[in-house]
Amino acid sequence: MSRRGPMPREVGFGRDAPRFGRAPAFRAGRWFGAIAMVALAAVGAALVSQHRFGMEPCPWCVLQRLIFVAIAIAALIGLAWRGATGRVLAGTLVLLLALAGIASAAWQHFYAAPSASCNLTLADKIINGIGLDAMLPDVFAPRATCADAAVSLFGVPYDFWSLGLFALLALTALVTLAGRRRR
């Protein structure tokens, strides 16, 4: 007898074959928890960039922050609402919001950043219409033009970092929508 218990005489087939546990079941809650953490980390990184390094946001940057917060809220709904209906609803919301984030990041890079002013654009109207810029100005108030906010991190524009993160969140939402629970 070894320290770990009795050793089989030989490994064979049938009754004597080694037994492996079942594969772990798909856990949408883990995916939704990860989605929420990544989305909130993106907002946190934006706030550090703004308040620590002086990188003031434009209206499109603020709109993307708002979309990341909405993605986190949708993922938390999926985390709290167990069951197929909650998974489908939250996964669909995250996917649609991530696609909106991809569109806003692409618009910011290709259309808004080259222009001298992004005043009264769709992003500005959404931010002003919701009123978050007045309620939480340190987080949601646009303070720069799109041309001024066009900065790079490691040679990659900030809006492309955001676009890539939105794409990753969209793919993760697809995983949650495609996942099946084993019973």
Return the CATH class of domain 27-178. Answer: mainly alpha
pLDDT along the chain (183 residues), means of 10: 56 58 57 93 91 86 93 93 87 96 90 71 82 82 73 81 94 85 43
The angle formed by the CA atoms of residues 89, 83 and 74, to the nearest 5 degrees, is 35
Q: Which two tokens stand for residue 6?
A: 């009795």
Predicted local confidence at residue 49, as pLDDT: 87
- Specify whether the CB–CB gap between 78 and 95 falls below 8 A: no
Q: What is the pTM of this model?
A: 0.78
Predicted local confidence at residue 96, as pLDDT: 97
Predicted local confidence at residue 76, as pLDDT: 94
Predicted local confidence at residue 28, as pLDDT: 64
Predicted local confidence at residue 136, as pLDDT: 83
Other beta carbons less than 10 A from residue 51's beta carbon? 12
HSE-CB for 177 with a 13 A CA cutoff = 15
- Helix, strand, or coil here: 2? strand
- Helix, strand, or coil here: 35? helix
Q: Which two tokens stand for residue 157?
A: 């524009």
Task: Please give the Cα distance from 140 to 127 (Å, whole number).
Answer: 8
Predicted local confidence at residue 12, as pLDDT: 56
Domain borders along the chain are: 27-178
